[in-house]
Each structure stands twice: as C-alpha cells, then as structure tokens.
Amino acid sequence: MKIKGAVLIGALLPSITMAEEKLALARPNIESYGTLLLGLIFVLGTFLAGAWFLKKSKLLNPGSDQLKMLAQISVGTKEKIAIIQVEGENVLVAITQYNINFLTNYKGKQPSFKDAQSNALENRPSNAKN
C-alpha cells in the first residue's frame, strides 16, 4: 500500500508543481502594479501636457486678423474698457456682463491707455455718470 501511495504521489508531483507555478504566475506582484501605475501616470501626463500646449499655442483656434484686442482695463467687478482693432481701425468699447457699448474711434495706431480711459470717462452717456 505504501508503494502504491508513493507511486501515486510521484505521479502527481509534477502536476502539483505545475499548478503552483501557474498560481504564482496568476498572482500579480507589487512591482507589476507599480509599473502599471507609472505607465498610467505617464500616459495621462503626456495627454494633459499635449492638451495644454495646443491650448496655449492656439493651433486649434488661431484667431482672426480682422479683430484684435489691443488693451483692456478693469473698471469694476465685471466691467472693462477695451481698445479693439477692427480691420485696422482702433475702437474704444465698454464691456459689461450683458453689454458691449461703442464709445469712440481713434485715428492713431495705438493710443496710450490713459488717454483712452480719460476719453471714455468724458464721453460716457449721461445716465452712466455718477
């Protein structure tokens, strides 16, 4: 009986060791999780860096040659005065949360902003004066 049991164990021993090897291969180790995590961080970082570069370089939305913002200054929480160049002509506009109002035209290339601001304050409508 002992011989039959020894033969049976001897016959099953290779299959037991193969099962242990397969089980060891099926169990992921800590290093594989670390490598996976580093790869994921690298891919996401590369994607975010590429998106940021495209946004900053304006390759997707190059803008217009007909309309350019030359200067702007905040005069309130959501109010601005801006000098915009429209087809080569400089225009002073007042920008609020709900409106954009034309203030005046300029003949020069790009006026100093202090002149534009004082001109805008002098030429604003009578209902806007405090």
- Domain extent, residue 21, equals 2-57
pTM of the model: 0.40
104 found inside a domain:
yes
Clarify whether residues 80 and 46 are in a common domain.
Answer: no
pLDDT band of residue 42 (cuts 50, 70, 90) is very high
130 found inside a domain:
no
The pLDDT tens digits of the residues spanning 62-108 come to 666 678 888 889 888 889 999 888 887 888 899 999 999 998 887 65
Clarify whether residues 71 and 119 are in a common domain.
Answer: yes
Write the burial class of residue 117 (CB in 10 Å: 0-12 exposed, 13-18 middle, 19+ buried).
middle
Clarify whether residues 77 and 53 are in a common domain.
Answer: no
Residue 19, pLDDT score: 62
Lowest mean pLDDT among 18-22, 35-39, 49-53: 18-22
Clarify whether residues 80 and 43 are in a common domain.
Answer: no
**How many folded domains does the chain comprise?**
2
Backbone dihedral angles phi then psi of residue 111, each to the nearest 5 degrees: -70, 160
Clarify whether residues 52 and 71 are in a common domain.
Answer: no
